Amino acid sequence: MLKRGDKAPEFKLSADNGEEISLKDFRGKKVILYFYPKDMTSGCTVEACDFRDNIKKIEKKNAVVIGVSPDDTKSHVKFKDKYELPFTLLSDTTKKMLEDYGVWQEKSMYGRKYMGVVRTTFVIDEKGKIEKVFEKVKVEGHVDEILNSL
């Protein structure tokens, strides 16, 4: 797992708007990079809407929000439109970025093991270094926790 002070791994992925987005596009701003398992699921929707409802506070701190999941861009567009999400969602269907950031891990549900996204948020500073890592995120109160750390 990446830790505070590490250089954040570069990426180049398709965004919900069809553009290719990379980390270097955000130099000079803090990046709240949050990884979530699946569009339109209960926990992921609560988390996304919490970011949406706090976007002005986040932007005042010279930060941007980027969500990443293995869903495709079509799914992201539906999710973004339905909940009026004002930030970028990146599609990592190959799971390369998920692996680079160490969030694609073995999980277990009802005794069955499978690979999936462990809900994790990275705060990346203006120069591309990891400033803070929130592992195994509990959705409730998470955005407040991030705002307090900025």
Kindly report, residue by residue over 96-145, the tens digit of the pLDDT.
Answer: 999 999 999 999 889 999 999 999 999 999 999 999 999 999 999 999 99
Residue 44 among the catalytic residues: yes
Write out the two tokens for 112.
């069955």
Region of residue 147 (left: phi > 0; alpha: psi -120 to 50; beta: else): alpha
Write out the two tokens for 150.
């900025």
pLDDT digits (tens, 9 = 90+) for 28-64: 999 999 999 999 999 999 999 999 999 999 999 999 9
Write out the two tokens for 39.
């569009």
Going along the chain from its start, the domains and CATH numbers come out as 26-149 (3.40.30.10)
Q: Which of 9, 23, 126, 16 is nearest to 81 (CA)?
A: 16
Give the pLDDT confidence score for residue 109 in this predicted structure: 84
From the candidates 31, 44, 89, 118, which is the catalytic residue?
Answer: 44
Amino acid at site 26: F
Give the pLDDT confidence score for residue 30 in this predicted structure: 97
pLDDT digits (tens, 9 = 90+) for 70-101: 999 999 999 999 999 999 999 999 999 999 99
- Please, is 74 exposed, middle or buried when counting C-beta atoms within 10 Å of its C-beta (0-12, 13-18, 19+)? exposed
Write out the two tokens for 48.
């996304």
